[in-house]
Amino acid sequence: MARVAVVTGSNKGIGLACIRALCKQLKPDDVVYLTARNPELGKKAVADLEKEGLKPRFHQLDISNKASVEALRDHLKKEHGGLDILINNAAIAFKSKDPAPFSEQAKVTNGVNYFDNAQAYHILSPLLRPNARVVNVCSFVAVMTWGKMGDDLKEQFRKLATEEELNTIVNKFIDLAAKDEHTKHGFPGTAYGFSKVALSAFTRLQDRIFEKDTARPGIAVFAADPGWVVTDMSSGSGKKNVDEGADTLVWLAMRPEGDLEGRGEMYSDRKLNKVFL
């Protein structure tokens, strides 16, 4: 059976590099979907890769739009019957000099990077076949942010048992940020960093569920840190190019059947880099 891979937010940057690597590493009959909010940009990215001799397919996807995610799900189910690799790469980050108030940054950033990614995951994950791999793209910034969080808040994360509990914590951050009181309650002063802490926690919770899934054995959910990569999001600064940034993400996505070491945790440069110490 041909394997099917999807990378969200993949018309440029690290996502596009993941598509390129997957096309090269998977078998010729396997299917790799490049996705983008803007169909024109997505199709152009596919055309550029075709010039390199690669053959990804395109499907429109906006993780902030439930109907868009459901359309992708329905297409995958009809055409392929399932999904084997899901790299959740789509994300946003406000620039350091962005004039938007922190309250807005907290709401928008966590809305996309946590809540929208979680929604997309829940819509697509029923399609995951046995031994599938999910890679949630997090960041080394999550580790840095963890170090700036209050002890009580850290303990809440360590004791998380349900997604509902995690949602409550993220919503509390957004609500307190709206009143400029977030730091008084142990929350960090970075919306992006906190969104990646939340996504890392989400990764752990979802992987625990799959550990007990006897109907679909071998599925694992990982978090991955691409590192400091030169992209539009980083305003062109960084120490890695996009292919280097995609390396750990694709390595996790291609982990063979039975190789579940470090499941639920974050990897950096192919090594464990646990967030919740």
The residues annotated with a catalytic role in the active site are: 192
Sign of CA dihedral 235, 239, 241, 244: negative
Bridging pattern class, strands 271-272 and 266-268:
antiparallel
Contacts from 61-65 at CB under 8 Å and sequence distance 24+? 61/8, 61/35, 61/36, 61/37, 61/90, 62/37, 63/8, 63/9, 63/90, 63/112, 63/116, 63/117, 63/119, 63/120, 64/111, 64/112, 64/116
- Grouping H, G, I as helix, E, B as strand and the rest as coil, residue 56 is coil
Instruction: Give the C-alpha separation, 148 to 133, whole Å.
Output: 31
Tokens 């001799």 belong to 53
- The half-sphere exposure of 26 on its side-chain side, counting CA atoms within 13 A, is 26
Instruction: Give the C-alpha separation, 268 to 23, whole Å.
Output: 22
DSSP alpha helices (H): ranges in 212-262? Answer: 242-253
Rounded to whole angstroms, the maximal C-alpha distance in the chain is 54
Instruction: Give the C-alpha separation, 74 to 65, whole Å.
Output: 15
